[in-house]
Amino acid sequence: MSVRQTYLLVDGENIDATLGMSVLNRRPHPEERPRWQRVLAHVERAWGQPVRPLFFLAVEGEIPFGFVQALTTMGYQPILLKGSGKVVDIGIQRTAEALLNREADVVLASHDVDFAPHMQALAAEGSRVAVMGFEEFMSAELRAVNGMEVWDLEHEVAAFDAPLPRLRVIPIDEFDPFDFL
Domain of residue 112: give its range.
5-179
pLDDT, one tens digit per residue, over 44-63 is: 999 999 999 999 999 988 88
Give the chain's domain count. 1
Does the pLDDT at position 37 exceed 80? yes
Which tens digit of pLDDT belongs to each residue from 79-118? Answer: 999 999 999 999 999 999 999 989 999 999 999 999 999 9
Ramachandran sector of residue 134 (left: φ over 0; alpha: ψ -120 to 50; beta: rest): beta
For residue 90, the domain's CATH number is: 3.40.50.1010
What's the confidence (pLDDT) of residue 2?
Answer: 60
Which strands sit side by side in the sheet containing 104-109, from one edge to the other? 77-81, 51-58, 5-11, 104-109, 129-133, 149-152
* pTM for the structure as a whole: 0.90
Question: Are 97 and 3 within 8 A, CB to CB?
Answer: no
Q: What is the arithmetic mean of pLDDT over 121-139?
A: 95
